[in-house]
Amino acid sequence: MSNNGLDACYEFRRREIRQMVKNIHGKIGSTINLSERIFLTMLSVTMSMLWGGSLNGEVAKLGLEIKDRLEEFMKLMGEPNLSDIFPMLSPFNLQGIESKAKKHVSWFYGFLESVIKQRMKLGEGPKMADSKDFLQQLLELNQRGDAKTSLSMMEIKAVLLDMVIGGTDTTFATIEWAMTELLRHPNKLRKVIEELDAIIGDQNVVKESNISRLPYLTAVVKETLRIHPPAPLLVPHMPNETTVIAGYTIPKNSWIFFNVWAIQRDAEFWEDPLRFEPERFLKDTEKRNYTGNSFHFFRLDQGGGFLLGFHWWRKLQCRF
């Protein structure tokens, strides 16, 4: 997970991205399902980085099944669940969310188990700049025999599933929204093309190392993430001790959701917040820096979802 580790995976990413560009270029003049193509590419990139796998030919059908199941799984994760508000109802599974989610998780685990078995049968996977791939390192932790540092096979499958979902769905959703916004705003798309032609040239291929020289393209990505965050409420946070923030008492082990979708569309912090305007990230770059201390992106006292969740926790004395 280090920068060196990610750099070592560069060739895997480069291979899959160039294959996608080649496929799309070969279909000039015909209709393509861009959403499907982006998803399969992101899945191949993630699989390549984790265990050197890829989707091609007939195997792409498996990728489409993964896409369908993943979309359904993400819907279940975001669906309001009465059992989360009233824990005493959990044993009854009234909405069937838990049983449906378990069915999808079981399928994903079966797929990952086949990947693990194949790797164990073949031995070590492809090398990445003289280092072992992610799955091989996990398997070595499984064989370590140390109760404190070893991983069980179930834990390995859980880690891989987290990585596949997190690495595929969020990236896919962001790219799809970015392409949608650019097609809806031809003037913005024209600026991206002009920047690429000026910095890279129309005969050269864009590389990861070029990103720092493409400020407008970077601004497009930031603006896409602002309007269309791939995880609008993030993942639940849980304090390990009772804490007071902005005058509100946050009980230990309560579930906290942050409404990032609302915060990043708040007119108090963003001028004309519903407008797709990448140029806003070219002005006052320090203020618009996601990696800095710009906490107006994420203020607890402004997060409607956070306050609503806390209100229900106090009222019902149960988890949110």
Strand blocks (E) in the chain: 243-245, 248-250
Q: Is the pLDDT of residue 238 over 70?
A: yes
* pLDDT at 252 (0 to 100): 92
Q: Is the pLDDT of residue 144 over 50?
A: yes
> May I ask the CATH class of domain 1-184?
mainly alpha
Tens digits of residue pLDDT in 147-191: 777 889 999 999 999 888 888 888 888 999 999 999 999 999 999
CB 163 within 8 A of CB 156: no
Per-residue pLDDT averaged across 90-111, rounded? 90
Band (195; pLDDT cuts 50, 70, 90):
very high
* pLDDT at 184 (0 to 100): 97
Please tell me the distance from the alpha carbon of residue 172 to that of residue 303, in angstroms, as a whole number.
26
* pLDDT at 310 (0 to 100): 32
Per-residue pLDDT averaged across 77-94, rounded? 82
* DSSP assignment letter at 281: G
Q: What is the sign, positive or negative, of the torsion defined by CA atoms of 233, 234, 239, 244?
A: negative
Most confident of 70-79, 92-101, 285-294: 92-101
Per-residue pLDDT averaged across 264-269, rounded? 88
Per-residue pLDDT averaged across 46-56, rounded? 79
CB 93 within 8 A of CB 83: yes
Least confident of 61-70, 263-272, 278-287: 278-287
Please tell me the distance from the alpha carbon of residue 160 to that of residue 137, in angstroms, as a whole number.
12
Residues whose CB is less than 8 angstroms from the CB of residue 182 and which lie 6 or more positions away in sequence, other chains included: 188, 189, 192, 220
List the structure tokens of 49.
């980085």
> Where along the chain do its domains lie?
1-184
* pLDDT at 313 (0 to 100): 31
